[in-house]
Structure 1
Amino acid sequence: MTGNDLAEALAAAHGLTKADAKKYVDAVFAAIGDAAAKGEDVSLNGFGKFATKRTPERQGLNPATKEPITIKAANKISFKPAKALKDKLNG
């Protein structure tokens, strides 16, 4: 499912225009992205939790040359599904 598919489903379920539904979908994901960029967790009841994590700088190997390289520290986002979503997926 794409963002456009999600907007179409929202429009159909709530009698919105596709353009308005697309704006709402974009706004929700922008808010999630903004919160993640600030290092905040985003919890959606019955769906799950988006959490950010800082990974430290570490050593790795260049696969082509086998020489050591430094992999920069980075922020990552993860998703942990809620029990209700897990139950829905597993019948």
Structure 2
Amino acid sequence: MAVERACWIMPDALNAADVADLARRVEELGYSRLWVAETLGRDPFALTAHWGAVTSTLGLASGIANVYNRHPGVMKQGAHTVAEQTGG
């Protein structure tokens, strides 16, 4: 049984290029999952879609999207869009 490693980050202090580099580096280091917290800085769905464009093997997730700030329909739209853009 292979051991999977996950990384959970809050990249609010990074610019878009650094966020993309970070995702690529996490993948290069052999992590299988990359999670992002929903904070005041960035939309987690847009960020995971961005990561999906620059990585090929990482499982991507928000951990956790704030259900008090997002209507369930908007959550569904975001998740559907990311799944569509990243192939899953």
TM-score (norm 2): 0.33
Q: Which protein shows a greater Rg?
A: 1
TM-score (norm 1): 0.32
Q: Higher relative CO (CA 8 A, sep ≥ 6), structure 1 or 2? A: 2
